[in-house]
Amino acid sequence: MQMQTEAPEKEPLSLEQTGVALEGVSRRYRARRREVLALDALDLRVAPREVVAVVGPSGCGKSTLLELVAGLQEPDEGSVRAGAAAGAAARRGSCAYMPQRDLLLPWRDGLANAGLALECQGVPRAEARRRAAPLFERFGLAEFERAYPADLSGGMRQRIAFLRTLLAGRPVLLLDEPFGALDSMTRAAMQQWLAGALAAEPRTVLLVTHDVGEAIFLADRVAIMSPRPGRVVAELEVTLPRPRSRRAVVTDPEFARLEERALAALEGGL
């Protein structure tokens, strides 16, 4: 499919109004002299300020999908846009990417780690710290401003990594299994925290996870991917009211219905 020539919709690049659109995206890899099709003619749209969760079996190309949107890769076929940005460099300018591991720098304290995003845009170090501080206050991390990563729990480190992602100041957040490395208790707390953070700082979010419950709890829409070569096989609208609390959500019959449908779509793809 030749999608690059399609006239771009008028979407000004701003915090509120940048969406994501993937159209007919294919991506191939060469692994051990064999060509692997990671993504096959994938279509996916995220409206401005919408939270879309992508769920799929491991190896279905979820991470590839995020790296494509993040501008860290280019598709072999099809088009990827983040707002008006179509080229990889332009997409990097409108997306903030949060990898699965926190990747905090061990020689930087909390403020300096979060401020790294600003420093990369040319903000001086002291100024970056000063601008990171209010976010620590707002998200209840004030006491960890000066703590070094080695002294923090996995959950705390992930929160600081999220603040770093926010401080990049990009309209689109790309979260790659942000809580995948955490234990289930911490994970539940982190999901609640992230829901609150996104309510306070609304962004366009593309969240990759392998946890169906997490996807339903956090997202406005859940996209189910097939095993490799990955494509979107089902999309579920999540109508649960916001703000959501985990306890209320898991007992809601709607949650059970969505979970059942998501699991059915995942199994159908096997």
Partner 1 sequence: MRRVALAALLLLLAGLAWQGVASLHSVDDLTLASPVETWRALRDDWSLLMDNAWVTLTEVLLGLAIAVVAGLAFATLMHLYRPLRDAAYPLLVASQAIPIVVLAPIFVLAFDYGIGPKLAIVALICFFPITVNVLDGLRSVEPELLKLMRSLGASRLQTLRKVELPSAMPYFFSGLRIAATVSVIGAVFGEWAGADEGLGRLVLLGNTQLQTPRVYAGIVILTLMAVALFALATLAERVACPWNRKETPA
Residues that bind partner 1 (CB under 8 A): 67, 70-72, 92-93, 95-97, 99, 101, 103, 105-107, 116-117, 119-121, 148, 150, 168
Please say which residue, 174 or 266, places its beta carbon nearer to partner 1. 174
The set of residues, in sequence order, having a beta carbon less than 8 Å from that of 77 and lying 6+ positions away, is 1, 24, 25, 26, 41
C-beta of 78 vs 149, nearer to partner 1 = 149
Q: What whole-number distance in Å separates Cα of residue 79 and Cα of residue 65?
A: 12
Cα angle at 105 between 99 and 110, to 5 degrees? 95
Q: How far is the CB of 145 from partner 1 (least distance, A)?
A: 17
Q: How far is the CB of 40 from partner 1 (least distance, A)?
A: 24
In the complex with partner 1, which residue's Cβ is closer, 209 or 226? Answer: 209
CB of 158 to partner 1, least distance (A): 14
Between the alpha carbon of residue 57 and those of residues 62, 119, 208, 209, 210, the distances in Å are 9, 36, 11, 9, 7
Structure tokens at 128: 């970056």
User: Contact, 207 vs 15, CB < 8 A?
Assistant: no
**Alpha helices by DSSP H, 168-233:** 184-200, 212-218
Query: How far from the centroid of its chain's Cα atoms is residue 92's Cα?
Result: 14
- CB of 29 or CB of 107, closer to partner 1: 107
CB of 168 to partner 1, least distance (A): 6
CB of 136 to partner 1, least distance (A): 19
Q: Which is nearer to partner 1, 128 or 249 (CB)?
A: 128
